[in-house]
Amino acid sequence: MKTPLVSVICLCFNHEIYLKDALDSVVSQNYKFVEIIIVNDCSTDDSDSVIQKWISNNKLIETTYINNSKNLGNTQSFNKGLNKVKGEYIIDLATDDILLPNAIEDHLKNFESTNITDVGVSFANVELIDYKKTHLGFHYDVNNNGKVLRLPKSGNLYNELLASYYLNPTGMFVKKEVYDLLRGYDETLDYEDFDFWIRSSHMFNYIFCNSITIQKRIIKSSHSYLADTVKKNKFTRDFSTYKVCLKAYHLNSTKRNFEALWIRILHEFKQVTKSGNYKLSIRYFILYLKSLRKYFLVKK
């Protein structure tokens, strides 16, 4: 197996009690050609001290530390880390999650063994845990050997990612050239996952890695949880989702693309209407009408 350098960008915001587990999980990888880039997004807990202590105790692994002087959010913080990357592959790791020892090795083998061309992303199964590391489930159901019961599709996943929550972002392993072509995450958005999927899958193929590579914590202090439960945050997050749907509208070139977009629009329309965001409901309805018109203009 080739030995390219892998860069793990570790994003931290108030993860003091989880930090050591996350950072140790990178050092504990079976694959050792790894660099760590830690971005502390102006945490208000003792994360900075934990990070400084961890770095002083782990001098054998190349580590870059960026300590934001103000809170920038995930997209800007990740892009600051991206600017320091030296590796050929990238993992975006929240520091409340834990990489399993096989993660990098399995993804690299997946890239080497595939016969699919133009691959930019390898995605794997994800174990869901709580703050005590108690097992909650898996993103994809598995058998007794930890293999998925139904293999997700590999290849062109644009329609699948547009229409549904097809994969868990914490299980992704990405070629740096993907981020280079996309110019990182869109910093105007409240969150990164959906936009990254749409833009990257329009340019690159995805391949499934049939192993469990990471443990994702489901905790009430997480960015996604707060965005879904605090009304002001939810409105901001919902508008970011709309902006990505608008991007997809401009990217779409086939009838199947627009059919996938309609599924997404209908889902989001129901969500924002239920939460009382009627201005956004109207925007989605207008986008649906525009996409309907464009649907009949495309030939395939």
**pLDDT tens, position by position, 18-60:** 999 999 999 999 999 999 999 999 999 999 999 999 999 999 9
Residues of the chain with CATH 3.90.550.10: 6-220
**Percent of residues, the chain, with pLDDT higher than 70:** 95
Query: Which residues, 6 or more positions from 265, have their beta carbon under 8 angstroms from its beta carbon?
Result: 245, 284, 287, 288, 291
In this prediction, residue 231 carries a pLDDT of 55
Amino acid 193 reads D
**Token output for 39:** 């971005």
Question: Any residues with CB less than 8 A from the CB of 136 and at least 6 apart, and which?
Answer: 128, 129, 130, 218
User: What pLDDT was estimated at residue 221?
Assistant: 56
Report the alpha-carbon distance of residue 123 to residue 131 in Å, rounded.
24
The average confidence (pLDDT) of the chain is 95
Cα(256)–Cα(261) distance, rounded to whole angstroms? 9
Q: What is the pLDDT of residues 181-224, one digit of tens each?
A: 999 999 999 999 999 999 999 999 999 999 999 999 998 754 55
What is the pLDDT at residue 238?
96
Q: What is residue 75's predicted lDDT score, i.e. its pLDDT?
A: 97
Q: For 92-186, where are the alpha helices, taking DSSP H only?
A: 103-113, 158-163, 176-182
- Give residue 229's pLDDT band: very low, low, confident or very high (50, 70, 90): very low
**What pLDDT is recorded for position 251?**
98
Question: How much is the pLDDT for 227?
Answer: 46
Which CATH number applies to 6-220?
3.90.550.10
Question: What are the backbone angles phi and psi of residue 51, rounded to the nearest 5°?
Answer: -65, -45
Secondary structure of 72-100 as H, E, C letters: CCHHHHHHHHHCCCCCCEEEEEECCCEEC
Work out the percent of the chain whose per-residue pLDDT is above 90: 93
Output the six-digit token pair for 290.
């525009």
DSSP secondary structure letters along 170-221: GGEEEEHHHHHHHTSS-TTSS-SHHHHHHHHHTTSEEEEEEEEEEEEE--TT
Cβ atoms 196, 184 nearer than 8 A: no
Torsion angle of alpha carbons 23, 25, 30, 36, nearest 10°? -20
119 pLDDT exceeds 90? yes
pLDDT in tens, 260-298: 999 999 999 999 999 999 999 999 999 999 999 999 999
Q: What is the mean pLDDT of residues 78-82?
A: 98
pLDDT over 80 at 228, yes or no:
no
pLDDT in tens, 133-184: 999 999 999 999 999 999 999 999 999 999 999 999 999 999 999 999 999 9
Q: What is residue 187's predicted lDDT score, i.e. its pLDDT?
A: 97
Residue 299 binned pLDDT confidence (cut-offs 50, 70, 90): confident
Output the pLDDT for position 233. Answer: 80
Position 225 scores a pLDDT of 46
What's the pLDDT score for residue 2? 78
Q: Looking at residue 283, what is its pLDDT?
A: 98
